Amino acid sequence: MGKLFNLINIPFGAMIRWFNEITGNYLIALLLFAIVVKLVMAPLAIKQQRNQIKQAKLRPMEMAIRRRYNGRNDKATQQKVQQEVLELYQQEGYSPFSGCLPLLIQFPIIISLYQIIRKPLTYICDISADSVERIIVKLQSFGLFQDKTVEVLVDDQISLVNAVKGLTESQFAEISTLENVDKIFDLNFNVFGVLDLSQAPSFDQINWLWLIPVVTFITSYLGMKISRKFQPQPMTQQNGDAAASMKMMDITMPLMSVFFTFMFSGAIGVYWIYQNVLNVVQTIIVAKLMPIPACTEEDILAAEKQLKGKGGKKNANLDPNRPRPRSLHHIDDDDDLPPVVKEEAPAEEKPVSPDAPKLKDDEQGKYRNK
């Protein structure tokens, strides 16, 4: 798995190193890197937007199907509704799972990016794994990082940068022969002299690093609110519980991001802030260039007419020979049957008197004087 991620880590790490060399500022280098990554994954965002547009175009017909079974909440009927909706999707060539593909592709890229930021010696300074371990062992022999194992420091190398920079000349001479070790001095995690991005914010001490979790929360919260405005409309009006759950999610998700900023170095938090802002910018741009059509009540009513075959154009979304769906509880089984014509009952004959005279041709007493 490590070799697989290296296919992404090595070129991306070289990109950050190049940005850091031309700008001389790690904060700006991270911003440029985040922009490039967003541009690389832009085709996935466009594909996802097209998928949402196709779904929105099918929304009126889908709503019409669901409305046919309003008030029937039993399991069997709900399964029938889902079956008809899936048939609609299949006929239009739309897959509800196609939107998951961009997310699945982005997942290993995101993991790779965090590895690059957490391992600057390996991917930015291009120091071999063996040399990184030797540096850690030397630093521990100098009395540094005694409370951490070599494995932990290999996975989070940001703190090693300032440690190497703080060595005396004699101490540095013991590791100076290692390949590319001098590139460590090109990394500068200090921002405006008050923020050290190699350190993580602490609950025990309030300092300038607390700006990172605060800004992370703000950008994450606003990003979720803004992005939701450009997403497809919900299928149904949310009830009180669903609306409350949505509001709770709007708070808990940013809070989770804040919690993670206290677990990792400030550089990770800064990268999350960049991503939050760029996600909003990308969402707005894509939505303006490729707007998602709204689903109006008129559209739904027209779709309902198409389903019933009453007026309007023929339904292009469904097979015209497709039988009309019926309720599984036979509530509307007779909707399509021809009206029953009641036969008129023959006029009731008046009783006749037994003493009435019998006519010549009326042997059965059929014809009698009235």
In a domain, 277, yes or no: yes
In a domain, 268, yes or no: yes
In a domain, 346, yes or no: no
Q: For all residues of the chain together, what is the average pLDDT?
A: 78
Is pLDDT above 80 for 251? Answer: yes
In a domain, 332, yes or no: no
In a domain, 50, yes or no: no
pLDDT of residue 331: 44
Provide long-range contacts, Cβ within 8 A and 24+ apart, for 219-224.
219/273, 219/276, 219/277, 219/280, 220/253, 220/254, 220/257, 220/258, 220/272, 220/276, 221/250, 221/251, 221/254, 222/280, 223/276, 223/277, 223/279, 223/280, 224/250, 224/253, 224/254
Handedness of CA 311, 316, 319, 325 (dihedral sign): negative
Q: What is the spatial distance between Cα 310 and Cα 184, in angstroms, rounded to a whole number?
A: 75
In a domain, 141, yes or no: no
pLDDT of residue 32: 93
Amino acid present at 26: Y
| Helices of type H across the chain | 2-23, 26-40, 42-67, 75-92, 100-118, 120-123, 129-141, 150-155, 158-165, 169-173, 211-229, 240-261, 266-289, 297-308
| Domain of residue 252, residue span | 201-292
Query: Which residues lie closer than 8 Å to 235 by C-beta, 6 or more apart?
Result: 59, 62, 63, 66
Tens digits of residue pLDDT in 3-22: 666 777 888 888 888 998 89
Q: What is the spatial distance between Cα 44 and Cα 36, in angstroms, rounded to a whole number?
A: 14
Tens digits of residue pLDDT in 57-116: 888 888 888 888 887 878 888 888 888 888 888 888 887 776 676 667 777 777 887 888
Amino acid present at 113: L
Q: How many residues does the chain have?
A: 370
In a domain, 246, yes or no: yes
How many domains, in total, are found in the chain? 1
In a domain, 215, yes or no: yes
Q: With a threshold of 0.75, does the pTM exceed it? A: no
Q: What is the spatial distance between Cα 140 and Cα 134, in angstroms, rounded to a whole number?
A: 10
**C-alpha of 157 from chain center:** 31
Q: What is the spatial distance between Cα 157 and Cα 117, in angstroms, rounded to a whole number?
A: 9
Confidence of residue 313 (pLDDT cuts 50, 70, 90): very low
Tens digits of residue pLDDT in 151-171: 888 888 888 888 898 899 999
Q: What percent of the chain has pLDDT over 70?
A: 77
Query: Which residues lie closer than 8 Å to 29 by C-beta, 6 or more apart?
Result: 16, 19, 20, 23
Q: What is the spatial distance between Cα 325 and Cα 224, in angstroms, rounded to a whole number?
A: 39
